[in-house]
Amino acid sequence: MDAFNNASMGTNIGFGARFAGIPRFPHGLNGIVVSPYATIGKNACIFQQVTIGDDGVDKHNAPIIGDNVTMYAGCKVVGKCRIGNNAKIGANVVVSFDVPDNAIVVCEKPIVKIRQ
């Protein structure tokens, strides 16, 4: 990403991040951060303030996001984890674990739940 986008929108899509298709950004690029080591499948839908980050230690510890995944506002997907195809990650949820295909991850009270 260029310096203008970093400074004006708080966006940083790391050079080297792999996208299998063109993602949708329903609210623009505002605050979206993607690790240069992340892999994102086809038809990803990424809302504002989403972080897809590695663990900062090893480039192999970055998320692998499947096809048709929707990541809602403010969610964080970090570390070595796989998000399955057609999954939905709810707003403000922090995910650092594998999520199966077709799952919905939400935060209810202080507990994270996976629904299939």
pLDDT for 107: 81
Number of C-beta neighbours around residue 52 at 10 A: 28
Query: Of 95, 103, 82, 109, which Cα lies nearest the Cα of 50?
Result: 95
Contacts made by residues 55-64, CB under 8 angstroms, sequence distance 24+: 55/79, 55/80, 61/37, 62/35, 62/37, 62/38, 63/35, 63/38, 63/39, 64/38, 64/39
Record the pTM: 0.85
How do the pLDDT tens digits run along the chain, 116 residues long? 455 655 566 788 888 999 999 999 999 888 999 999 999 999 999 999 999 999 888 878 999 999 999 999 999 999 999 999 999 999 999 999 999 999 999 987 665 667 77
Pairwise CA distance, residues 77 & 93, whole Å: 8
pLDDT for 11: 85
The amino acid occupying position 36 is P
pLDDT for 3: 57
Pairwise CA distance, residues 33 & 56, whole Å: 14
pLDDT for 2: 57
